[in-house]
Amino acid sequence: LSTQVAIVGAGPAGLVLACALGRVGVDALVLERHPREVVERRPRAGLLEPRVVAYLRSLGLADRLLVEGTRHGWCDFLCRGERLRVDYAAHSGGLRHWVYPQQSLVRDLVAALCGAGRPPLFGRPVTAVPAPATGRPRVECAGLEIDCEYVVGCDGAHGVTGDALPRALSGRGVRRYPYDWLTVLAEVDRPVAGVLYALHEEGFAGLMPRSHHVARLYLQVPAGDDPARWPAPRIHERLRVRLAGVVGELPRIGRVTGTGVLRMRSSIRDHLVSGRLLLAGDAAHVLTPSGAKGMNLAIADAAELAHAFARRYLDGDRQGLAAYAARRLPHVHATQRFSDRLLRLLHLSPRDLHDPPRALALRAAEIRRLTEPGRHATAFARQYVGAGPE
């Protein structure tokens, strides 16, 4: 097989890139290790930034999203029994997220590629990307060899393309946080109206909308904790404690359908390009889920790459590809700074635990500043909704 751009991984980054390249007539082929059903059913993220949706719309990829997605423009912080609403839509001049499950978007993107006659090859784990720094790259994957001009690694946090970077380019900035998040999917009797962040001396708890009957919940747990230690009754009990004061106002949280522990770490590669191999999405940078940035960054990477490939193939101009990392990394670092700031706001530090009531009172004051119109609230709102600086 041969193609101009071989894309490893059918997550949001790889699929959006393939669709965008198809639109401008660049030949691309997506290789995915899992079967289609697995990729289309994996519950992952669910908040899309308006800039990202505008991009998908410009490619004709947002038809179902615009009908079935819902808008979201505020988040609540619960602190010492007080519920504080940050109306980031109001503070950002009307910008709101779209709530649309990642697996639905993935389904739409796969359908678009199939409709265009370029279906991803599912069930094809890529095993090697030999010598990408020199000459024409090749991709080896279960029983197939693909000749191509470029390889884009969109194979997520544990993919193989990153390993193909030469040692000198394999550096990354890694940060480990002193806690983890238990991730919970649970049935709810009505949709979760919006994001809720609860600060508590016992630890953070979060509630996120997903779909009509499903919510995503997070509970701060000690670093390295085991999900097996979190049976459903314990989850419900801790939620009642950490969400005390608002439980009655929230949808009833029912059957737990899935749990896991998310190791809270972030990792950003220093180099995203080596010769004709380029990395995008989680293969390039993994951030914590605070601020719901992962899927949005992955699609923004794909947009940048699609533009660069269009220049390369339509105008013979390689500058866009050469500048890819330099254009994306500042956004990734700025996003990490924002996510970190949010994490610091949501978790008490060991020092705070000497006097939790005082620490929580200070946090409440800080959150209150985000609720009141002003420079502080505007800056937070714009970063939260992914609008960039004013």
**Would you tell me which residues interact with ligand APR (CB under 6 A)?**
8-14, 31-34, 39, 44-45, 102, 125-126, 154-156, 159-160, 281-282, 294-295, 298
**In the complex with ligand APR, which residue's Cβ is closer, 295 or 370?**
295
**In the complex with ligand APR, which residue's Cβ is closer, 53 or 295?**
295
**In the complex with ligand APR, which residue's Cβ is closer, 184 or 360?**
184
In the DSSP assignment, the letter for residue 118 is -
Shortest spacing between CB 89 and ligand APR, in angstroms: 22
Beta bridge partners of 145: 140
**In the complex with ligand APR, which residue's Cβ is closer, 132 or 294?**
294
**In the complex with ligand APR, which residue's Cβ is closer, 47 or 90?**
47
Distances (CA, A) of 202 to 172, 205, 352, 388: 33, 9, 12, 34
Shortest spacing between CB 247 and ligand APR, in angstroms: 28
Buried b (16+ CB within 10 A) or exposed e, 264-277: bebbbbebbbbbbb
Shortest spacing between CB 37 and ligand APR, in angstroms: 12
**In the complex with ligand APR, which residue's Cβ is closer, 78 or 284?**
284
Distance of alpha carbon 303 from alpha carbon 300, whole angstroms: 5
Distance of alpha carbon 32 from alpha carbon 9, whole angstroms: 5
CB 170 within 8 A of CB 201: no
Shortest spacing between CB 265 and ligand APR, in angstroms: 13
CB 79 within 8 A of CB 367: yes
Per-position DSSP letters for 177-223, written without gaps between them? -SEEEEEEEEEESS---SEEEEE-TT--EEEEEEETTEEEEEEEEET
CB 127 within 8 A of CB 142: yes
CB 232 within 8 A of CB 253: no
Shortest spacing between CB 281 and ligand APR, in angstroms: 2
Shortest spacing between CB 378 and ligand APR, in angstroms: 25
Shortest spacing between CB 316 and ligand APR, in angstroms: 29
**In the complex with ligand APR, which residue's Cβ is closer, 9 or 69?**
9
